[in-house]
Amino acid sequence: MLSVYYYYILIIISFYFLLLSLGNHYEMRRFTKRPEIFDGPLVSVLIPMRNEEKNAQKCLTSLRNQLYKNYEILVLNDNSTDNTAAILEQIAKEDSRVKVFDGKPLPEDWYGKPFALHQLSLHAKGDIFIFTDADTEHSPESISWAVTNMHNLKIDMISGYIGQKFLTFGEIIAVPLMFLLTGFILPLFLNRITKLSWFSAAIGHFIAVRNDVFKAIGGCEAFKKRTSEDIYMSRIVKKKGYSTRFFYICEYVHCRMYNGYRRAIEGIGKNIFDFLGKNTFILFFIIIAILLFLFLPFPLLIYNLITSSLGLTPWLLHIVIVNILYTLTWFFIFLGQRLNWWYSFFWPLMIINFLYMGAWSWFRSVSGKGFIWKDRKVN
């Protein structure tokens, strides 16, 4: 009898996830405005860089070629040991809008990226802050897009999915796990219509926030020891009563997020336990639920296909439907990201990776081993 309920539950939740991904796709597309404001309030673009000699030039070149007129670019050389400082110094000489600052030693009660953003925010003069990463490349309309959407929709903070490049198979089965956020977790319309902070979201590659709102939440002090500082920034902004939205930004900003499988596992894995407030019970509940309801349907499909030839299973049609629905869910997720549709067939490998990363994130945190990121240890 339990198996009967299990298969029916699978049908229900697989339909739900498909509807959720479609609803979020519609939400992000419907409310996004195209760039139309090209001159307005001063915008401060804040970029922390630590050993980014491979990315600094292309990132800053893309930001120097913006159609928006009134902006400054603030870069923090965060104690780099490579050629980053020399590259930044040369660019600053060529363009007065680019201002370079040397990072201070990292205090014990801060993590690296929040402290870098904190230092930059102290120098920023703009009415709007745009936080972005060194590995991003921006279209000429990226700043205008942010200003247009914040102004026309009267939003205090916006973020979203930027375009992704996958150059290895390992990246294909690891990096898309970030899309679980809108494909399987958050109904984004609730972020628009409610004040509950748990329905807000952000991705650190591109966050635009009003200066006065950023100061009102206490700046980076509010999330100074978080590896998932982007998510916590959006939650705190929402909790304080301000508006946040999450959009597609694929047309305007893109990057290769991680260089290979191992970097992707480390980069995403370090945020999972932190994202859940470092709550062991919640993490293990989620891992069990994902194992039973998101991964198990695929091995069950294989099992049912094998045993159906022997006439031993009445559930083949049900499990086939569930697997089709999960594949369609991922199909629409990748379609929204303007990525190859055939990536959707790798979802069982993606889910296995998530289970591994969740367990790894928990172990590294509770054991005290922590994570090494940008040559720094974080717990």
CB 135 within 8 A of CB 92: no
Overall average pLDDT of the 160-175 stretch = 94
Where would I find the H helices in the chain?
A: 2-30, 56-64, 84-94, 112-123, 142-152, 169-172, 180, 188-193, 211-216, 229-239, 261-275, 280-290, 297-308, 316-336, 347-366
157 has pLDDT over 80 = yes
CA distance 199 to 192: 9
Can you give the pLDDT at residue 311?
A: 60
Q: Is 313 helix (H, G, I), strand (E, B) or coil?
A: coil
78 has pLDDT over 90 = yes
Could you count the other beta carbons within 10 Å of the beta carbon of residue 330? 23
Overall average pLDDT of the 174-200 stretch = 92
Can you give the pLDDT at residue 309?
A: 66
**For a pLDDT cut of 90, what percent of the chain falls above it?**
82
CA distance 73 to 58: 14
**For a pLDDT cut of 70, what percent of the chain falls above it?**
98
186 has pLDDT over 90 = yes
Give the pLDDT band (50/70/90) at residue 250: very high
Give the pLDDT band (50/70/90) at residue 312: low
Can you give the pLDDT at residue 313?
A: 67
Give the pLDDT band (50/70/90) at residue 5: confident
CA distance 236 to 197: 7
Can you give the pLDDT at residue 90?
A: 96
183 has pLDDT over 70 = yes
Average pLDDT, rounded, for the chain: 93
370 has pLDDT over 90 = no
379 has pLDDT over 90 = no
Could you count the other beta carbons within 10 Å of the beta carbon of residue 155? 20
Read off the pLDDT of residues 84-105 as tens digits, 9 standing for 90 and up.
Answer: 999 999 999 999 999 999 999 9
Can you give the pLDDT at residue 1?
A: 43
* Short-list 331, 68, 377, 357, CA closest to 227: 377
Can you give the pLDDT at residue 368?
A: 86
Read off the pLDDT of residues 271-305 as tens digits, 9 standing for 90 and up.
Answer: 898 888 889 999 999 999 999 999 999 999 998 88
Can you give the pLDDT at residue 373?
A: 73
Among 60-64, 110-114, 183-187, 369-373, the range of highest mean pLDDT = 60-64
CB 374 within 8 A of CB 112: yes
Give the pLDDT band (50/70/90) at residue 51: very high
166 has pLDDT over 50 = yes
Q: Given CA atoms 353, 357, 358, 360 in this order, what sign does their dihedral have?
A: positive
